[in-house]
């Protein structure tokens, strides 16, 4: 049973560079979520997809952030012109949403981003 996977696990970049993270959800899951977690805080919602459709974006998600899920399977999160404030753990979660089930989300190991 493969869970949610994320790549890379760690990324160190210089301010102003672009970075891209990948998330592979649990195979039969139709929903995919991105969260961000900083020290001492709980995860904060960024955006989510149902299949390939992006259904909601948080106001935390500035114009420098973009996410895609082109074929309803894996997803990418890109941050352009990174800033030091972008340093955080980026978490991906997936779930199977159906008419008869509630949305229990299962998380990947996260990508830790450090912007120097």
Partner 1 sequence: DQQVKQNSPSLRVQEGRISILNCDYTNSMFDYFLWYKKYPAEGPTFLISISSIKDKNEDGRFTVFLNKSAKHLSLHIVPSQPGDSAVYFCAASVLGNTPLVFGKGTRLSVIA
Judged by the rule CB under 8 A, the positions of this chain that interact with partner 1 are 4, 6, 33, 35, 40-45, 48, 56, 58, 91, 93, 97, 102-110, 112
Which CB sits closer to partner 1, 72 or 109? 109
CB of 19 to partner 1, least distance (A): 19
CA 61-97-25 angle, to 5 degrees, is 60
Q: Which of 7, 25, 37, 42 is nearest to 97 (CA)?
A: 25
Which CB sits closer to partner 1, 22 or 112? 112
CB of 61 to partner 1, least distance (A): 12
CA 103-54-100 angle, to 5 degrees, is 25
CB of 102 to partner 1, least distance (A): 3
Instruction: Please tell me the distance from the alpha carbon of residue 76 to that of residue 44, in angstroms, as a whole number.
Output: 17
Which CB sits closer to partner 1, 82 or 94? 94
Contact yes or no for 52/71 (Cβ under 8 A):
yes
């Amino acid at each position: 049973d493969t869970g949610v996977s994320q790549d890379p696990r760690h990324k160190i970049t210089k301010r102003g560079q672009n970075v891209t993270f990948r998330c592979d959800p649990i195979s039969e899951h139709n929903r995919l979520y991105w969260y961000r977690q900083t020290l001492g805080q709980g995860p904060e919602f960024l955006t989510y997809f149902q299949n390939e459709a992006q259904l909601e974006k948080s106001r935390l998600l500035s114009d420098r952030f973009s996410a895609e899920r082109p074929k309803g399977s894996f997803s990418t999160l890109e941050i352009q012109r990174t800033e030091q404030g972008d340093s955080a753990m980026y978490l991906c979660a997936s779930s199977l949403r159906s008419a008869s089930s509630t949305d229990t989300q299962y998380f990947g190991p996260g990508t830790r981003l450090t912007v120097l």
